[in-house]
Amino acid sequence: MRRSRWVALVAALVICASTLAATALTAGAQSSNEKPKATDIGITADEIHVAVVADVDNPIVPNLFKGSKDAVEGAAKFLNSKAGGGGLAGRKVVVDFYDSKLNANATTNAEIQACQNDVAMVGTSSVSLASVDNMRNCPDSTGAVTGLPDIPFVSTNLSQQCSDQSFPMAPPQVICSTATDHPQTFQPNVGRGYYYKKKFGDLHGPYVFGNDSKSARDSSFVSGIGQLRVVCCKSDQDFDISGFAPQPSYTPVIQEMKNAGSNYAQANQGTQTQLLRKEATIQGITGVKVWDCTTGCYSTSFLKDGGSDVEGEFVDTLYLPFLNAADRKANPMLNNFVKYTGKDLADGFGVYAWSAMIAFRDAVNAQVKAGGVNSVTRKTLFEQLNKIHDFNADGMFGTIDLAGRKTSPCHVLMQVKNGDFKRVFPTKAGTFDCAKKNVVEVKLDVY
């Protein structure tokens, strides 16, 4: 239960992959007669090594991003299982896990080890990564300072979000070209707000933000989490509450809802949402049309821990609902994610990390097609990653502009009904709502 308290650290925070899929299918053709050899750090004649750096072993939130580790390892099993020898570029994919432990020193050491041993960092999920200097100054096998390709999930620091050597699966909310402007321009996905507006009319209520990390709080505020107010849901009052605060800390929120006659409320962290809803039950609050949450509430533990108190909760994700059998049947890659990660290990964090591995796959395969199995290096991976714009992990992930670091307009809205997540919009399994209007530009002075 405590693990979900840090969900706001991940800025969430997204259907067309035919070109990349075709690349994946044809990648080996030009290199069938070429014998693989060592080409760069992390690439031997037999293996291609990637690093996953994630906060797992720590005393604060044990196993926080274990889902990222499990998913990257699961994706490697999937890639290695393919017919014709599997792997990538004629080599077995090997995952090296470095635990960043919610600790700045451990994070720095993990970056250094990845530089020494791996061709890229994939599914990076480290809250304490405050600088990308160790990645940018990383030499390749020739000694040239080429840098270390990074395809992260969690990137709370602006230097990583907007680095031209990082390709976040959760694109930065800020438009990077405006990061030093005052105000900055942000690109939140507020798609579910249009649904709320059409179905329920004008909404207003409190927004609850976790304040254990300033960067995560800022990210939550400027994203669709905090900016639904621009299309549907006026804020009666914003509350900053620690993710570790007990239930009585939510009494003032419920009191404000009673005083303002609120018909809407949002808390983005799973545990915060549970505590808010439990307090609402105790105080007998009525008249709320929308209890709103995002990926932080999409888990079996949320249903189990929340019980009847979270009935009716709306939950919005930027990926297909992997807990839904119909969606897994509709999208083979989503089914592979659950199958190879493990049904009991697959979680929302893992979706992003798995997708990062698919982006890595696409970059490697594109380079093999362009220059053969021995042309894959850190330098050429950068070249190929910078060409990936419409990316959706074979349809399981809302389409993002990976190289352009642009937010996806895609989302799926669910609601807890009879103790389970049910699709609300769009209702058809395997589909997203990807209307262009879902992404709006907002000017705020945050940095």
Given this model, what pLDDT does residue 32 score? 55
How many whole angstroms separate alpha carbon 135 and alpha carbon 144?
13
CATH of region 9-173+327-401, choose from 3.20.20.70, 1.10.287.70, 3.65.10.10, 3.40.50.2300? 3.40.50.2300
How many whole angstroms separate alpha carbon 165 and alpha carbon 150?
6
**Residue whose pair of structure tokens reads 């545990």 in the numeric block:** 271
How many whole angstroms separate alpha carbon 295 and alpha carbon 290?
16
How many whole angstroms separate alpha carbon 389 and alpha carbon 105?
34
By C-alpha distance, which of 78, 63, 159 is closest to 111? 159
Residue 75 has φ and ψ, to the nearest 5°, of -65, -35
Q: Sign of dihedral through CA atoms 59, 64, 70, 72?
A: negative
Given this model, what pLDDT does residue 24 score? 35
Given this model, what pLDDT does residue 243 score? 85
pTM, two decimal places: 0.90
To 10 degrees, what angle do helices 332-341 and 348-371 make?
110
How many whole angstroms separate alpha carbon 141 and alpha carbon 284?
65
Given this model, what pLDDT does residue 23 score? 34
User: How is residue 361 written in tokens?
Assistant: 């796959």
Instruction: Report the chain's C-alpha Rg in angstroms.
Output: 21
Q: No. of H helices and E strands in the chain? A: 15, 15
How many whole angstroms separate alpha carbon 45 and alpha carbon 43?
7
How many whole angstroms separate alpha carbon 100 and alpha carbon 88?
27
**Residue whose pair of structure tokens reads 């304040």 in the numeric block:** 211
Residue 435 has φ and ψ, to the nearest 5°, of -60, 135
By C-alpha distance, which of 426, 433, 390, 441 is closest to 411? 433
pLDDT profile of the chain (447 residues), mean per 10: 41 31 35 85 98 94 93 98 86 98 96 98 94 97 98 91 96 94 95 97 96 80 86 96 93 98 94 97 96 94 96 98 98 98 94 98 98 98 98 98 96 98 98 97 90
By C-alpha distance, which of 63, 93, 90 is closest to 78? 93
Distance in angstroms between the alpha carbons of the first and the last residue of the chain: 32
Given this model, what pLDDT does residue 157 score? 87
Domain 190-317+411-444 CATH class label: alpha beta
Amino acid making up residue 145: V
Amino acid making up residue 45: A
- Do the two domains 9-173+327-401 and 190-317+411-444 of this chain adopt the same fold? yes
By C-alpha distance, which of 41, 4, 33, 69 is closest to 376? 41
Q: Where are the domains of the chain?
A: 9-173+327-401, 190-317+411-444
